[in-house]
Chains A and B, each alone.
Chain A
Amino acid sequence: MKLTLKIWRQENSNTKGRFETYNVDKVEGDMSFLEMLDVLNDGLVREGKEPVEFDHDCREGICGTCSLQINGEPHGPGNRVTTCQLHMRSFKDGDTIVIEPFRARAFPIVKDLIVDRSAFDRIQQAGGFISVNTSGNTIDANSTPIEKEKADMSFDAATCIGCGACVAACKNASAMLFTSAKVSQFALLPQGEVEASERVMHMVDQMDKEGFGNCTNTGACEIECPKGISLENIARMNREYLSASVAG
C-alpha cells in the first residue's frame, strides 16, 4: 500500500519543530508500524537525507521503549497494543497518517519523535522498590503466603511497561496511572507494606515535581494503556496517599 506520512521533525528541545510530509510505498500489511518507518528511513538515507528518529528496542511489546502519537492516539488505533506491535493492516492504501511525539511538559523532546521519559525513572527511584538485604540471606519470595487475588492484582499492576501512553492520552498529561501502578504492585504485597506510607508520599511528590497534570478521571489512560492497567490502581493510590497523609 501507499501512504502519506505527516511526521513531526525537531532538531532538539531548544529548536522549533514542524511537520514534514513523506510518501512511502511498498508497505505490506504484515509490517509493524516501526518496520514501515524503517522503510521510510531506508529511503531517506539512500537519498542522503536525515532519517526520522524514533524510540524502539524489543519490538515485542514488552520493553516500553516505543511511543508515538499516531493519528491522535498513543500507540495508534486499537487497544492493548504498542506501536511496535501495531501492524500496517490497521491502515488502508492511500491513508494519511499523522505521527507526533508524546506531548507533555515532563517529556521534553530529544529529537524528532523521541522524548525524554526519565521523569518516570525519577518517580520510580523516589519509592518504587522494597528495601531488602540481598547479600546472601535473601528469603525466597514464595515462602511468604500471599492471597491469590492480591497476588494477581499486584502482578497486573506490575505489567506496566512505563511507556508513557497514559500521559500522552490524558488531556491533562497526568502520570497518575503509571505512578499508581508502581505504587500498587508493592502496596498489595506483604513485602511492600512496611514502606507503603513513605513510598506513596515520595512517589506522588516526585510526580508533582516533574510537572505532570492533575487526574480528572476521564479514563483515557486505561483505554490507551497497552497493558490495560486499571483505574482501580489510581483509586488505591488515592487511598494510600490519604491514609499516609492522615497518619503523618
Chain B
Amino acid sequence: MQSRFLVLFPTAMVAMLLVAIAGVLWGTADISWSDRFAILIRAEDAPRGLSLIVWQWRIPRVLAVGLIGAGLALAGALMQTALRNPMADPYLMGLSSGASAAAVAAIIWLPASVTEVLGVPVIAFTGAAVAFLMTLGLSQQRGHQIDPLVVILAGVAVSLMFQSVTAFFLYIGDPHVTRNALGWLMGTAAGTEWRELPLLALSLAVIASLSLLRSDALDATLLGEEHAQALGIRTGRLRVMIFVATVVLTGLAVSIAGIVGFIGLIVPHMARLLVGARHKVLLPLSMVLGAIVLMAVDLLCRTLLAPQELPLGVLLALFAAPPFIIILRGLRRAS
C-alpha cells in the first residue's frame, strides 16, 4: 500500500495543481485566453476589471475551497479514527447544526447592524463551538472514559435540538431573508476574501503537522481503545486533541463557506481504499483528494449554469451518493 502512495500522492498533487489552475482560468466571467495569461503573469496590458475578477475573486476563492476541502477531509479522517466509526464525519458532533442555527438566527432574527458588526462567520463559529461543548458534556460519564458510541448519540441529540432552532427561524423569517440563509446553509465560497485565508491555512498546516507527528499513535487507536492504551497511548488526551482540531478546522470552514457536507465523510474512505489506513499515508492523500474534489465541485458550481451559481451542497450531494453506496456495500461485506 505504501508503494502505491509513492505513485498516487505525486499524481494527486499534480491533479490538484491542474484543478486549481482550471478554477482560476474558468468562471462565470468570459475571459479570452490571451487575457487569462496576461492577468496571471500580471502583465501591464492586462485588463484591469478582469484582473480584479481573477486576483480578488477567483484566486482567493479557489485557495479557500482547496484549504476547506483539505481541512474537512483531514478532520473527517481524524474523527473516524478517534471514534473508530467509518460513518463519523466532522459535522457529527453537532457542529454543522450548531453553526447553522447560529447563522440562521443571526441572519433572520438579529438586527442587521448587530450581524454586520459581529459577522455571520464569527457567529457560525461560535454556534459550532457551543454545539461541540454540549456534545462533549453529554458524552461524559462519571468514572468512565468517553465511549465513541455515546459521543455519536450525543451528537445526534444536539444536532436535532439545533435543527429545530434552524427550522423555527426559517419558518418565521421573511422569505427574502430566508433565501439568503438557505444559500448559506447549502454552502458557497462566493465572496471569499484574501484576509480570510491565513488563519485557515495556518491552522491546517499546524494540525496536519501535529497529526503526522502522532501518526503511530493514531494507527494504534484504530486497533481499539484498550489495545492502544496497552501500547502506551494516552487515548483520552489524543481524542480531546482530535476533537479540538476538528472544531477548529470545521468551524473555520463553516465560517468561510457555510455548510459543506460529505467531504469529511467520503474522501477519507476514498483515500483508505487507495493506500490503506496507516495515517502517515492516509492523511496526506485525504487532504489532497479533499482539495481536488471541492475545487472541482466549486468550478462546476460556477460554470454549469453560468452566469448563475449553484450552491456547493447541490453538487456535493450528487457526487457523494455513488461512493457512499460503494462504501456501504464494502462495510456490509466486511461485517
- Do A and B assemble together? no
Contact surface of A with B, Cβ cutoff 8 Å: none
Contact surface of B with A, Cβ cutoff 8 Å: none
